[in-house]
Amino acid sequence: MKTILSFIFFSFGLAIGLFIENLPFLTFKKEVGVGEIANFLIALTIAILIPLLLHTWIDNKRFIKDYLIEEIKACLVTLTKIKEIVDDCYSNDSTSDKDKGRIVYLFSEVDRQINTFCEEMKHNFKKESKDIINIIKEANITYWKETTGGPLMNQQFKINYNFYNKHNSSFYKNEVVIKKCISKINSL
Amino acid sequence: MDNNIKIVIAKDFSDTPGARYKTDGPFSGEQFLEEILLPKFKEAIKKDCFVEIYLDDVWGYPSSFISGSFGKLAKDYTSEEVLTHIKLISESDPLLVEKITSVIIKPDLI
């Protein structure tokens, strides 16, 4: 087996040697120095490596941005669940303690999603993250205050037209902020 | 500031905090303030230490509860004094700490 392998390697080397020697378009002039050859090889390596590395870097950045956008979209899904509960309560003219508890619980769920998003954002875009994080946190805190800061948790309270209306406007304001942040992340 | 005072809301009060006032329903912010937060806060001022408030293991905090307890305390004692003697702790939700702090800093906004 060893002999066969040695023979194959020897033949392969011989073939390459013959090929280079008889190569019609590549002739080495004797006056070409080692420095020039090294220069040529370095230029060739850079020409191959830079686009390759750049491409990988851009791909990675895109992947991170897509991931962050998915994270923030997940918050929007949870926020939409809050809106759906408010919508149902209003249209059924009935607001149970369970509905109120679920709204409050979903707010803490959104908090956890925002916390994860902020951590990822800080980790991947340290410089740019500050503005986006502040805007998202502030909008979410405002939405939380406007939704659960009024009469919602009062035992006798049923979601009425006034609450429904104010909630909708608050929800859409928050939604716009999050969507703007998605487009900001996209342009990073 | 050694020998800090501890409040674990889920254990010492409820895991389902309610509305703002006692008249609004059970486990209100007002009830929490009167029965737990205020006595411990006064004790912390006296001893010159912190009240460590553990916020985890609760289903969620309505803003009305926070405003009726922490907000009211800040109105009565100033935001600076409250922030000097209260330490909010949450391992699962750091944003909650920011939310409560924002209510303490601007208690009139709700």
Residue A28 pLDDT: 63
In chain A, whose CA is at the least distance from the CA of B91?
A112
Q: Report the C-alpha gap between A100 and A84 in whole angstroms.
A: 12
Strand pairing class (B86-89; B5-8): unpaired
Confidence tier at B101 by pLDDT (50, 70, 90): very high
Residue A26 pLDDT: 63
For the stretch A83-92, what's the b/e string if a residue is b when 16 or more beta carbons lie within 10 angstroms of its beta carbon?
bebbbebbee
Residue A40 sits at the vertex; the CA angle it makes with A35 and A45, to the nearest 5 degrees, is 125
Q: CA-based Rg of chain B, rounded to a whole angstrom?
A: 13
Q: Taking a C-beta distance cutoff of 8 angstroms, is the pair A113, A73 a contact?
A: no
Q: Report the C-alpha gap between B5 and B36 in whole angstroms.
A: 11
- Report residue A88 as tokens: 């149902």
Q: Taking a C-beta distance cutoff of 8 angstroms, is the pair B12, B51 a contact?
A: no
Q: What is the ipTM of this complex?
A: 0.91
Contacts of B110 in chain A (CB under 8 A): 145, 149
Taking CB atoms and an 8 Å limit, are B60 and A104 in contact across chains? yes
Q: What is the pLDDT of residues A122-172, one digit of tens each?
A: 999 988 899 999 999 999 999 999 999 999 999 999 999 999 999 999 999
For residue A120, give the H/E element and its range. helix A97-124
Q: Report the C-alpha gap between B110 and B108 in whole angstroms.
A: 6
Indicate the average pLDDT of chain B.
Answer: 94
- Of residues A25 and A186, the one with the higher pLDDT is A186
| Position A18 pLDDT exceeds 90 | no
Q: Report the C-alpha gap between A147 and A163 in whole angstroms.
A: 8
| Position B82 pLDDT exceeds 60 | yes
Q: What is the pLDDT of residues A20-32, one digit of tens each?
A: 777 666 666 667 7
- To test the contact with chain B by mutation, choose from A99, A145, A166, A167 the residue with the greatest count of B C-beta atoms within 10 A, namely A145
Q: What is the pLDDT of residues A39-72, one digit of tens each?
A: 888 998 999 988 888 888 888 788 899 999 999 9
H-only helix segments in A27-96: 34-92
Residue A8 pLDDT: 83
Side by side, which strands form the sheet with B5-8?
A: B5-8, B51-54, B86-89
